[in-house]
Amino acid sequence: MLGVMFGVTVFIFQAGLLTGLQNYFIDKTVNTTAHVHIYNEVRTARPHVISRYIDTTSRWVVVRNQKPREEARRVRNGTQIISDIQKDPRVEGVAPFLGLQGIYRLGMSQQAGSLAGVDILREDQLFKVKENMIAGDLLRMETLPNGIILGAGLAEKLGATIDNSIIVISSKGVSLDMKVVGISKTGITLQDNTRAYISLRNAQRLLQQSGSYITDINVRLRDVDLSESVAREYQTRYGYRAEDWKAANANVFGIFRIQNMTVTFVIISILVVSGFGIFNILMTIIYEKMPDIAILKAMGYRDRDISQIFLIESLAIGITGGLFGLLLGFLASKIVGMIPLNIQGFVSVQYLVINFNPLFYMAAFAFALISTTVAGYFPARKAARFDPVEIIRSR
Amino acid sequence: MNHTMISAQHVTKRFTEPVEFVVLDDVSIDVQKGEFVVLVGPSGSGKTTLMYTLSTLDTEYDGDIEIDNTTIRSLSKNQLATFRNTMIGFVFQFHYLLPDFTVLENVMLPAQRLGIWSEEEMEHRAMEKLALLGVADQASKKSNKLSGGQQQRVAIARALVNEPKILFGDEPTGNLDTKNTDIVLDILQDLKTEFNQTILMVTHDTAFARRADRIISIRDGRIVE
Ligand SMILES: Nc1ncnc2c1ncn2[C@@H]1O[C@H](COP(=O)(O)OP(=O)(O)OP(=O)(O)O)[C@@H](O)[C@H]1O
Ligand SMILES: [Mg+2]
């Protein structure tokens, strides 16, 4: 019974812990990555111009040191695409994005990072920028021409606080004076450590580009489950790469899959071990009860009556062990969920997020019943097949 | 009116392990309704084996056995169990009471398998049998709290609760002192005289044998009169 109990406990605890963490991550990801992300996939290996004019199948043509075309990452007619997508009833919000690498400097401290040129109000509609802000005021991005919102980790490394002036330098060598108007913390460590928001206009200036230059369009849908099909649709409609959020995080989902598999195997082995435990106990019991079985058979109990008795017995073990396991698993989850910890990994969390999905509880209980029934089946069958003559004779 | 309760014709039984060995050699027996028969013979002569075969517990033999005009061989395993439940009561040398159950619960077990009486009816019948054997006052005790003699009497009550046609026994007094043996023997004789109960018992005990209507002697698997 203890075996079943612990099996169920571990099942619930592990499943709750793992999926809790995963759901937390997915939640964060859904809120911080676009459901559909449209961008211009840079093809570095562009077919060289010569191949357009000369048949290269019968000739060797070598072009050395071909450079990627400038503006390759640009999404042309971005404004038009955005207003077009805006009309789609499935879309909750759409925002332009201009990403670039840059260096932040505050006095002597200097950090490299990525800058996100955004329309802050649209961005907020998509990614809840305001909710994630731990200091400052989102609206000052609109009112100040040179506002910047720093990721929490970045701000810390720079030693920057609200209203500090920092210098941002782009790869084009353009530098701008910016004023810190906010600090945001998404919980996704990589973003918080490198990312800053600036206005679209400033981003374009840093890249010495005109006012229509953007590199990405982010879309948030009313129904996140439509991401994949909408992405496919946009990709064919606009001719740019459109990626849904799951594809964008494919590597993480791969890790999840491996985690889930590992835990499944752990749980299965626990249940198998506890199943063998029950099997052993019942085997011992039926040998102890051999005289009882013999007399019951002599007085006219059928084989199936006997096996029923032992099946019911093992089922009782399964039910009680299962119920206690459910309770213990729930308590363990609750307690662990209250232990404060600060983990900086993929995502940063203060407490372990535990999933209390009732489905786990049902599944764990079902597994307990199945494993005890299977474990009880063979002893029960054995008990039914005892020959009463042999038992009574040997007394 | 003569009514044959048990009819065994040319029953032969052999064990093949460890060596081929004939335990019962062409045994034929008739037992009439209401007869009190004892089976005697030296140790190893095949008394217990014969009792098991006649009482349907052992089904591997050559020859034919009929009980109350039913050919045992024609019954399936489950039918045989039901047949035993309604027709036959057993008393062994050891009482085989279930230790975790009360005396009353133990006596009710065959009735529960029968499943034709209500709970109260079963209880009533069980109490009746316990009273008949003089152990009604022990009904609510756990069966392992009783003395050996009491336990054996409870076992007899259990054997009788479904009103079987035949009561079989294998040295039912083998573990009892003379006083308790006498009590059990008195009860068996009462059953015969008052209820016309058919009884077949295996015994070593000469006092026991003296009370029977008929003594069947067996030696090396053969009946010697
Ligand atoms: N399962 C078996 N396999 C082989 N031989 C057996 C088996 N059961 C009994 N025997 C043998 O059959 C013979 C008869 O045994 P049985 O128990 O019928 O004797 P019994 O007359 O009841 O003896 P006792 O008075 O000692 O109880 C014995 O020699 C015994 O060793
Ligand atoms: Mg014997």
pLDDT given at position A1: 72
Whether A180 and A269 map to the same domain: the answer is: no
Domain boundary among A206, A221, A243: A243
Whether A41 and A129 map to the same domain: the answer is: yes
pLDDT tens, residue by residue, B148-185: 999 999 999 999 999 999 999 999 998 888 888 988 89
> Which ligand places an atom closest to the C-alpha of B14?
1
Give me the residue from B93, B94, B109 closest to A299, CB to CB.
B109
pLDDT band at B13 (very low <50, low <70, confident <90, very high): very high
Q: Which of residues 172-211 of B touch A (CB under 8 A)?
A: none
Whether A334 and A233 map to the same domain: the answer is: no
Q: Report whether residue B46 contacts ligand 1, using a CB cutoff of 6 Å.
A: yes
pLDDT tens, residue by residue, A382-395: 999 899 999 988 86
How big is the A-B interface in CB pairs under 8 Å? Answer: 56
- DSSP E strands in A225-327: the ranges are 241-244
Best residue in A295, A297, A299 for a mutation probing chain B (most B CBs within 10 Å): A299
Give me the residue from B52, B58, B78 closest to A302, CB to CB.
B78
8 A C-beta contact, residue A325 and residue A4: yes
Q: Report whether residue B38 contacts ligand 1, using a CB cutoff of 6 Å.
A: no
Whether A198 and A302 map to the same domain: the answer is: no
The reported pTM is 0.68
Residue A395: closest CA among chain B residues belongs to which residue? B94
8 A C-beta contact, residue A75 and residue A214: yes
- If you measure from the C-alpha of residue A182 to the centroid of ligand 1, how many angstroms do you get, rounded to a whole number? 97
Whether A18 and A75 map to the same domain: the answer is: no
> Which residue has the least CA distance to atom 5 on ligand 1?
B15
Whether A114 and A153 map to the same domain: the answer is: yes
pLDDT tens, residue by residue, B91-135: 999 999 998 899 999 999 999 999 999 999 999 999 999 999 999
Q: What is the mean predicted confidence (pLDDT) over A357-361? A: 85
Q: What is the mean predicted confidence (pLDDT) over A145-172? A: 91
8 A C-beta contact, residue A96 and residue A118: yes
Does A299 sit within 8 Å of B90, measured CB to CB? yes
Q: Report whether residue B13 contacts ligand 1, using a CB cutoff of 6 Å.
A: no
Q: What is the mean predicted confidence (pLDDT) over A47-67? A: 75
Residue type, B18: P
Does A294 sit within 8 Å of B57, measured CB to CB? no
> Which residue has the least CA distance to atom 14 on ligand 1?
B46
Q: Report whether residue B7 contacts ligand 1, using a CB cutoff of 6 Å.
A: no
Best residue in B54, B96, B144 for a mutation probing chain A (most A CBs within 10 Å): B96
A299 touches chain B (CB under 8 A): yes
Atom of ligand 1 nearest to the CA of B218: 21
pLDDT band at B32 (very low <50, low <70, confident <90, very high): very high
DSSP 8-state code for residue B136: G
In angstroms, the separation between the Cα of residue A378 and the nearest Cα of chain B is 20
> Which residue has the least CA distance to atom 8 on ligand 1?
B49
Of A30-34, A208-212, A377-381, give the lowest mean pLDDT range. Answer: A30-34
Whether A126 and A73 map to the same domain: the answer is: yes
pLDDT band at A171 (very low <50, low <70, confident <90, very high): confident
> Which residue has the least CA distance to atom 24 on ligand 1?
B43
Whether A234 and A362 map to the same domain: the answer is: no
Check pLDDT > 60 for residue A152: yes
Residue A388: closest CA among chain B residues belongs to which residue? B57
CA dist., res. B24 & res. A148, Å (int): 106
Mutation choice for ligand 1 from B22, B23, B92, B208, CB with most ligand atoms inside 8 A: B23
Atom of ligand 1 nearest to the CA of B47: 21
> Which residue has the least CA distance to atom 12 on ligand 1?
B23
- DSSP E strands in A45-143: the ranges are 91-106, 109-118, 133-136
pLDDT tens, residue by residue, A277-307: 878 888 888 888 899 999 999 999 999 999 9
Domain boundary among A182, A214, A243: A243
Whether A323 and A257 map to the same domain: the answer is: yes
Whether A67 and A199 map to the same domain: the answer is: yes
pLDDT given at position A24: 82
Residue B89: closest CA among chain A residues belongs to which residue? A299
pLDDT given at position B201: 94
pLDDT given at position B92: 94
* Residues, CB-to-ion distance under 5 Å, ligand 2: B 48
A223: left (phi over 0), alpha (psi -120 to 50) or beta: beta
Q: Report whether residue B47 contacts ligand 1, using a CB cutoff of 6 Å.
A: yes
Whether A123 and A95 map to the same domain: the answer is: yes
Does B158 sit within 8 Å of A299, measured CB to CB? yes
Does B85 sit within 8 Å of A305, measured CB to CB? no
8 A C-beta contact, residue A102 and residue A168: yes
Smallest CA-to-CA distance from B170 within B95, B103, B107 is with: B95
Give ipTM to 2 decimals. Answer: 0.93
pLDDT given at position A373: 87
pLDDT given at position A355: 83
Give me the residue from B84, B96, B98 closest to A300, CB to CB.
B84
CA A54 from chain centre, in angstroms, equals 50
Domain boundary among A226, A243, A260: A243
Q: In terms of residue numbers, what domain contains A264?
A: 2-26+252-394
Count how many domains chain A has.
2
CA dist., res. B51 & res. B199, Å (int): 11
B158 touches chain A (CB under 8 A): yes
Whether A157 and A189 map to the same domain: the answer is: yes
DSSP for A117-178 reads: EE-HHHHHHHH-HHHHEEEE-TTHHHHSTTEEEEEHHHHHHHT--TT-EEEEEETTS-EEEE
Check pLDDT > 80 for residue A69: no
Q: Report whether residue B44 contacts ligand 1, using a CB cutoff of 6 Å.
A: yes
Q: What is the mean predicted confidence (pLDDT) over A82-104? A: 90
